[in-house]
Amino acid sequence: MPGYDYVIVGGGSAGCALAARLSEDPAATVCLLEAGGANKELLVRMPAGVGNLIKAKGKHNWGFWTEAEPHLDGRRLWWPRGRGLGGSSAINGMVYTRGHPRDYDEWRQFGLTGWSWDDVLPYFRRLEGHHRGECDGLHGADGPLRISGGESDSPFHDALIEAGRQAGYPVTTDFNGASQEGFGRYDLTIHDGSRWSTAAAYLRPVLARKNLTVITDARTTRLILDRTRVVAVEYAQGKTLQRVEVAGEVLLSAGAVQSPQLLQLSGIGAPDRLRKAGVDCLHDLPGVGENLQDHLDIILNWRSKDLVTAFSATKGLRQIATGLNYLLRGQGLGRQQFLESGAFVSSREGLSRPDVQIHGVLAIMQDHAKVKATEDGFAMHLCQLRPESRGRIDLASSDPQADPLIHANYLATPEDRRVMRECVKIGRDVASQAALDPYRAAELAPGADMRTDEQIDAWVRANAETIYHPVGTCKMGADGDAMAVVDAELKVRGIAGLRVIDASVMPTLVGSNTNAPTIMIAEKAADMIRGRRGERLAA
């Protein structure tokens, strides 16, 4: 066999979308390699299972750790990343936000032709099967990714939105509509009570296509080069190394952690860093692994009163009943993920777009749900949307089975520290409003004794964590950008037959959850590969 037209490495948010779109052409042969499994288990399908998926390393979660973070008291931070078909869309919080239009216009200002808001909006519309319908041309009604509103009847979510209004913030009916800023309800990637990952949305409906081959439990170990062209992909199944030949292109969609890792394992990257890990440099590309950005998050917790939260709704035998009700009837609290309200707000006046995001949770949250709640309460996640700090991904060794080294480098600048300090103050201000009086009891974290800026800064250093949005490690850049890994067509510079298509190509972090933008990138890339452009989009 001469090889596949397209070999996609990674069956995650981008990879599943690519496999579905490229295999629409019956003349094209497509192979999708995924290191994990099929991800069909009840825990993945049931929205309420998200806490168990996020907190544990295993078949669904790579479970990485950062290196010691110098500005976070030397702590190593837990970094969940999805494993198996659907990738992180199979373990995430199912919040669907696209980012601010200026995020994409900024990419265009970097010289990236074709990446402005007007350029990417048609692809967002194409991927969406939105509960609002087309909605003034801002949404799509017929796309594969089904997007719903929340089902919770708890008074907490409306109370949080009203508290935001009382604190002086706007209220918005659609974070992905005409105005992102303000408090409101989130759109969710849930369909008929089931998590709607990209595996469910894109891949499973097309698995019967004769031109599509999906190989799971196949961990890619390296890309095989013939001088400056990729000719094959090597992967391991168990202890056996195998290879798949490439007639056309390799599309690397392994995510912001593992796409740069695989390039580095293949000899593509900064020569000195590769040599340090015991890898010969075959192509000098210094930007590989650099430009790492992520949303750093703090969680404020309150004990509640007169409010049924996730704790009391599912404690004891009720947890078993919730699972059985969902398994047998598809009904009950298993259909919910307890996070349906939030906000996009500004930490100071004069900003062109919000720089803080809030997720309201009907539960006490500690350490990625690793610490089990023992009482009723509610939480606010608050994260900085546009960090100045930059980190990097390095190889730990030449062993492809070894986790890479993650240097997130959070809070490296005074502005990042200021915004996180303001996050605490914003959350407390909103929680103090009259709308939450019927439900708010004692503040559990940071706690009433944490008041001065110095105390707040110390608490942030000791408690801040990722909210799971790493990007940027295979940066897209214009000609002349020495640190660009890919060009505006997502082609790896200097290597023929290779593109990177996932969150790692984002030059800057969008001001939102990153799953929807990652799927958009895949949709747009599929048209680039096939020579199509936005004006020729079909619904």
Pick the closest to residue 242 from 19, 31, 491, 18 (CA basis): 31
pLDDT at 533: 55
What's the gap between Cα 522 and its chain centre?
14
Q: How many CA atoms lie within 13 A of 443 on its CB side?
A: 18
pLDDT at 140: 97
What's the gap between Cα 115 and its chain centre?
19
Of 130, 368, 407, 469, the active-site residue reads 469
Pick the closest to residue 342 from 181, 124, 147, 519 (CA basis): 181
Class of domain 151-185+296-384+411-463: alpha beta
What's the gap between Cα 225 and its chain centre?
30
CA distance 100 to 41: 34
Q: What is the pLDDT of residues 242-280, one digit of tens each?
A: 999 999 999 999 999 999 999 999 999 999 999 999 999
Q: What is the pLDDT of residues 377-424, one digit of tens each?
A: 999 999 999 999 999 999 999 999 999 999 999 999 999 999 999 999
What is the SS3 assignment for 393?
strand
Q: Where are the domains of the chain?
A: 1-46+81-146+198-293+470-539, 151-185+296-384+411-463
Instruction: Examine the residue annotation and report whether 295 is marked as an active-site residue of this protein.
Output: no
| Token pair belonging to 91 | 């373990």
What is the SS3 assignment for 445?
strand
Which of 113-121's residues contact partners 24+ apart within 8 Å by CB, and which partners?
113/488, 114/488, 114/524, 115/476, 115/488, 119/524, 119/534, 120/520, 120/524
DSSP 150-197: -----HHHHHHHHHHHHTT--B-S-TTSS---EEEEPEESEETTEE--
Q: What is the pLDDT of residues 72-93, one digit of tens each?
A: 999 999 999 999 999 999 999 9
pLDDT at 252: 98
Q: Which residues of the chain have pLDDT under 50?
A: 534-539
- β-bridge partners, 220: 235
Protein fold of 1-46+81-146+198-293+470-539: FAD/NAD(P)-binding domain (3.50.50)
The DSSP code for 115 is: -
Strand (E) or helix (H) holding 51 = helix 50-55
CA distance 190 to 380: 21
Whether residue 144 is preceded by a cis peptide bond, meaning omega within 30 degrees of 0, is: no
pLDDT at 136: 82
Common-topology check for domains 1-46+81-146+198-293+470-539 and 151-185+296-384+411-463: no
